[in-house]
Amino acid sequence: KVKDPETGEEKWEPKGNSSEAPIVVASRKIGLDENLSKDYRRVLEIPFSSSRKMMLTVSDVSGRDTLCTGGMALPTGTSLLSVCKGAPNFILEYCTEQLMEDGSSRTMSEADKKEVLDVVDHYSTKALRVLAIAVRTFEGMPFDMNDEDLSTDQKFEAC
């Protein structure tokens, strides 16, 4: 947050590129702080691919009950959190649950997915770019990190 020099009000100021800045601002609003990379050690990163239309990171969340104060509950035994961001229509294909405002989750129906895509279409008609973010928890990495025969796509699919 920064103080507006004209009004004196605190406001959110984005940092980073046009794709990252809204995500950073949203994460600050839900209670994640600037030390995120120190608090959640990154275990794996799969860069954005134009064919896949998504990117993925896996971070160590061992010993936590929630992602952040008041945030998403982490199931008992969770040690890893995968975060996938990208084109909403591609991300939604893989989604089976949705995170609610209170941090709980519920099943995501086809009607829910259509509702999300309708909102995406609404913003897209205004020439606004929309990204989706999906998460998944794991007790352990779903593949052998030392397996050199696994392709990037196979690792992505496993997460």
What pLDDT, on the 0 to 100 scale, is given for residue 3?
80
Alpha-carbon distances of 127 from 86, 87, 121, 133, 159, rounded to whole Å: 17, 15, 10, 20, 31
What pLDDT, on the 0 to 100 scale, is given for residue 50?
87
Give Cα 142 distance to the centre of its chain: 18
Lookup result for tokens 């205004």: 126
What pLDDT, on the 0 to 100 scale, is given for residue 12?
66
* Low pLDDT (below 50) residues in the chain: none
Lookup result for tokens 């509950």: 73
Structure tokens at 14: 């984005």
Structure tokens at 134: 């999906």
What pLDDT, on the 0 to 100 scale, is given for residue 129?
85
What pLDDT, on the 0 to 100 scale, is given for residue 156?
85
Lookup result for tokens 């890893």: 80
Task: Classify each residue of 125-153 as buried b or exposed e, where b means 16 or more C-beta atoms within 10 Å of its C-beta.
Answer: eeeeebebebbbbbeebeeeeeeeeeeee
Lookup result for tokens 């061992």: 62
Task: Give the ranges where the chain is alpha helix by DSSP (H).
Answer: 20-29, 36-39, 88-92, 110-124, 152-158
Task: Classify each residue of 58-92 as buried b or exposed e, where b means 16 or more C-beta atoms within 10 Å of its C-beta.
Answer: bbebeebeebbeeebbbeeebbbbbbbbbebeebb
pTM recorded for the entire structure: 0.80
User: Taking a C-beta distance cutoff of 8 angstroms, is the pair 84, 134 a contact?
Assistant: yes
